[in-house]
Amino acid sequence: MTEQALLLVHAHPDDESIGTGATMAHYAATGTHVTLVTCTLGEEGEIHLPELIGLAADAADQLGGYRVAELNGACAALGVTDRRFLGGAGRYRDSGMMGLPTNAHPRAFWQADLDTAAGFLVEIMRETRPQVVVTYDDNGFYGHPDHIQAHRVTMRACELAREQGFGPEKVYFQAMPRSVLAAGIAEFGQSTGNPFSGIEAPDELPFGSSDAEIAARIDATDSADAKVAAMKAHASQIPLDSWLYSIAGNFGGEFMGVEFYTLAYGERGPGDGPHGWESCLFAGVTSEAKALVDR
């Protein structure tokens, strides 16, 4: 058996669904072996369900275990069966937002030894042999320390894997074109309860890439409903009255189902449209798909 293989590295449960859920569901549905690696349990997350407040880090500190169950539900909605925690569940702890005392927790992912953490990821790569890897850019998309560390760990792991002869052909970073952000600001910038509230220009946001920097636009509108279902599985983090669902209600699959990426490593494949963006993350991949023999 040979398989096209995609590996995604995310910091916390729910990151996978919000940022790359449609892509994951789309490729899983078309037969690609999709592996999700989550780096922490998300113990420091904000809780949006009042009945779960007692699980918070400053109370019972049980939110991480609850979020494992939410992640399982989200992956089921996305059709992703190969889900793992870096180094095993609980190895690394959610570091909290940048500059908080939680960054210094002895198990905080922000404090992880880079080569040790990368070594865990290398072993997953050795088993699954992904041709394509997806993670965050060097700012972690928006500056969260665990996202930044996920970037560092992933890039180091890819380097080590290539040295051993089985690294991925392409590495992508989750991205958002500034042109799309500008359209969102124009449409929603004066309303409340969304990230564009009060924002006048894309440069005011902590993320965004120029259209020239974007390499791939994945139209996974066929998987938009799966992405919404996955997000709803993360109910402790994404309330049902979230702005995400409000915008999705207005724009449906176009908002939920189209995801963008920059290319960090590898050769850009053939594209189309006015920008020549790839429509498939595997565009131009030449390596023979790996036989998954010891699963």
- pLDDT tens figures, 205-257: 667 889 999 999 999 999 999 999 999 999 999 998 887 776 665 555 677 89
In tens, the pLDDT along 236-246 reads 999 988 877 76
**Cα separation, 294 vs 76, whole angstroms:** 23
In tens, the pLDDT along 4-31 reads 999 999 999 999 999 999 999 999 999 9
Give the list of residues 6+ apart from residue 24 with CB closer than 8 angstroms, or none.
Answer: 6, 8, 16, 34, 36, 78, 79, 80, 223
Q: What is the pLDDT of residue 292?
A: 36
Q: Contact 9/134 with Cβ under 8 angstroms?
A: yes
Q: Contact 220/19 with Cβ under 8 angstroms?
A: no
Mean pLDDT by 10 residues, the chain (295 residues): 85 98 98 98 97 97 98 98 98 98 98 98 98 97 96 98 97 92 68 59 74 96 96 95 70 78 97 93 78 32
Q: What is the pLDDT of residue 294?
A: 31
CATH code, 2-291: 3.40.50.10320
- Calculate what percentage of the chain has a pLDDT beyond 90: 77
Q: Is 8 helix (H, G, I), strand (E, B) or coil?
A: strand
The residues spanned by each domain of the chain are 2-291
Q: What is the pLDDT of residue 158?
A: 98
Q: What is the pLDDT of residue 290?
A: 41
Tabulate helix, strand, coil % of the chain (nearest 5).
40, 15, 45
**Cα separation, 241 vs 162, whole angstroms:** 44
Q: What is the pLDDT of residue 201?
A: 67
